[in-house]
Structure 1
C-alpha cells in the first residue's frame, strides 16, 4: 500500500527499548510506522549513570528473541547501548532522532495529527512509549536551583574529595553513594525513611548498610533537607535542625512521567494519587481511540512496576490489536 509522505499507520513516540520493540512488531505486521525520539537513540538509557548495572539479566532485556550477550549475567549501560543500537541499525528501524513531539491532536475520523519540533505527521494510531526519566521529583525547597545541585548522577570522578550529599535511598541513590565514596568522596546520605529501601538491588543493599554501619558513609535517617545554601545544607532531623558543610547535592529522589502531555492528548488519569493512565490491559488502548501506551508510562507515579523485561509484551499486544482492527475495517 502506498503511504503518503508523513502519513503512517503507526507513530511511536519514544525511541527506547520498548519503542524499538513496537517498531519490530509493526514490521512483522506490514504496518507503516515511524519512531519519533526527542534525543538520541535509547535516550533515557544513554543518560543513566556511566557505571550502572541492570537489575535484570541480559536475556530478560532481549527484544524479538535477538540474543543479548554480555560479559556478566547482569549487563552494564555500555553493553545495553551497544545491543539496542545494533538492533535499530541492523533492522533499519525507521526512527527520527532529536525530534521532540510537542502535541498530539485527535481528528474526527479517529486519526491523529502528531506535531513535533520539526514537522507534522498524520497517524491512524499513536503509541506513547516515553518512559519517565525526563522529569525529576523536585523537592520544592529553597536553594534547589543552585548550580551545585543536580537531580541526575553520571560519573563518580566529578565528586572526588568533595563533601557530597546524596538524597534518597533507592537504587540510584545507593549506587551514587557507593561509587563516590570509593572514588574518594566524602559522602552523606539523607534518607526520609528509617532504613535503606527494600527494593535496592539485593547484591548492593548489604554493601551500603555495611558502609554506613562502619562509618565510611554517613547517613541521616528519618531526615530531610530543609534548605540548600552555597556552602552548607540545613537538615530537619528527629533531633532537630542540623547544618552540614557541603560542596555538592545530588537529589536522587526519583522521576515521573510527563502527565501533562498525556492529559493534553485527552488521556484520563486515576484520581487516587497514583495518576495511572486509563487503558485496556487486553489491548493497551487508552480512553482515546487509536492512542496506546507501552512500557513504564502505564504505571503512573508507580514507576517501579513496569520495566523492559515485563513490558516487552506490550508491543505484541498493541500490534495484534491494530492488525485486528485493520482486518475488520477491510472486511467491511
Structure 2
C-alpha cells in the first residue's frame, strides 16, 4: 500500500473496492492495529493516534470484522463475543451479564436462534459469521470495518446485515465496507474509494460514478477488453463426466451434472452448500454415496466417476481427475 489518503465520515458508509492484491486488506490491517503503517498518520476525531496493536484500535473506537474469522472454537458464543473486554463483578467475569449482552447482540445481527452457551465449533458457518459481526459490535465502536462480512451468509441473513449497517450509519456510526458484490455496494455505499496495485485511484460520492466507471478504475481497462469471448462449443461434443442422482446425505441430494469435452463448468453457491463435496465425489474420496451412472445403472457406493470396486482417491489421479483443494480437505470419509 503506497501513500493512501482516505476520509471516513460518521453517519456514512464508505465502500472500498479493488481487485485482489489492490491493497484493501493492508489498509484494514493498519486501521485494526494488526499491521503498523511504515509511513503516514492516522487521525481519529482530529487526533493523531498510534494504532500499534488491536487494543489501541479498540481504545480509539475502531472495530474490524475480518473475512478470516477470529473466533475461538472451544469457547462459547458469549465468551467469544466479549473476549476482549468481558463484564466483571468483584474482579471476576460476570457470566450472567456476559450472556445477557450476547443475547442482545445476537438479536441485533439476526441470530436469535443461536444460544450464547453454545460452543462455536458446533455452529454452522453462516451462524459463525453472524457471531463474528456481533463480536465486532460488542465494543460500541465509532468506526466499524466490515470485510466481506456477508460472503458466508444466506440471502436472508445478508439482507438483514445490510439493513443493520444502514441503520447503524443512520444512527451516526462510520462504516468502512469491503465487498466484491456490486449489488451490495450499490445498495449501501454513500462514498467509495477505488484501489489498484496498492494505491488509491480515486474517492468519490458513490452516485457520481457508474458501475462500468468503477470497474474500469479497478482494472485499469474496460472489462470487455480483458476477457476474450469464449468460442461457441459444438453440440455433439462427447460427454466426459456424468453424475445422475448423486446423493451423499445430508450434503448432496440427487445431483445431476454433465461435463463435455472442451467445457469449463462452474459450480457456485454459498460456502457449505455442497460444492466441495461434489469435487470430492468426482475425485473418489467419499464413501456411502448413491446415484446412477451415465448408462442408468444404480450404484450404491459411487457414481460413474468411480471404478466398480469401491471408492479410491488414487483412481481420480489415475483417470485424469486431480483435485486441487481451495482451503484444505473437509471431513469427507
Q: Which has the larger radius of gyration?
A: 2
TM-score range normalised by the length of the shorter chain: under 0.3
With normalisation by structure 2, the TM-score equals 0.28
With normalisation by structure 1, the TM-score equals 0.28
